Every structure is written in structure tokens, then in C-alpha cells.
Amino acid sequence: HVQLVESGGGLVQPGGSLRLSCAASGFTFRSNCMGWFRQAPGKEREGVAAIASDGSTRYADSVKGRFTISKDNAKNTLDLQMNSLKLEDTAMYYCAADLRYSWCYVVFLRESEFGYWGQGTQVTVS
């Protein structure tokens, strides 16, 4: 069965860096759209970054130039490198997979398109 397990969250000072990782299993990782989403207390979940099968990426405006999404198809892992962290980056971060198609040609930051989710990892910038 599909499993997504996030790790790497923690407490960091403003301006610091963190690297999140998501270990995926139970599906053909390289073929699918993958993404990172986040939800801050009292706010709706929002898309942060996503990556298509060919490695093309999409970012939320709020993280462009600071966050980098990447994947390792050999290890079935999805990473999110977060630099220059701000207070407003504090949130629970979720890894997500869109398994509707056999190949992901283009990816969007649409929560409704991602049907599989990890349990989340907390990032606190303070």
C-alpha cells in the first residue's frame, strides 16, 4: 500500500535552514506528481512546491528563491530544502502524491489533485 513518511522538521531560528525528506513506497515513485504542502494553525493547507516526472518544478510565490524541491528516483525520496526561513514558514509540512496517471507531465499546486498524504512533520521558525 502507499506510504509517505516525512522527516526532518524541527525548530529553527529565522534565517536558518532545514531539509525535509519524504520516504515513499507502494507505488512507482518516478512516474507520479509529488508535492509538499503546509498548514499553519488556523489556516488552510496550501501548496508549497511540487515536482513532475521529468523534474520540472512549481513553487508558491511565498517560497520562490528560498525553497528547493527535489527527488531521488533511485531512493524513492522527495526532499524540500528550505533556506532563509521566516516566521511565517511555521507550519505542519505534508508530503503528497498524485497517483491518478501513469506519468506526470505537468504539476500544479492543487491540493485536490493529490490523493495520498503523509502524516506531516512540524517546522517551527522562532
- pLDDT tens, 29-76? 999 999 999 999 999 999 999 999 999 999 999 999 999 999 999 999
116-117 and 46-51: which strand pairing? unpaired
Residue (of 89, 76, 77) closest to 9 by Cα position: 89
pLDDT at 91: 98
pLDDT value at residue 65:
97
High-pLDDT (> 70) share of the chain, %: 100
* Residue 83's pLDDT band (cuts 50, 70, 90): very high
Average pLDDT, the chain: 96
pLDDT of 28 above 90: no
pLDDT score at 102: 86
If you average pLDDT over residues 83-103, what whole number do you get?
Answer: 96
Of 12, 97, 89, nearest to 46 by C-alpha is: 89
Give the DSSP H/E element, type plus range, for residue 13. none
pLDDT at position 106: 86
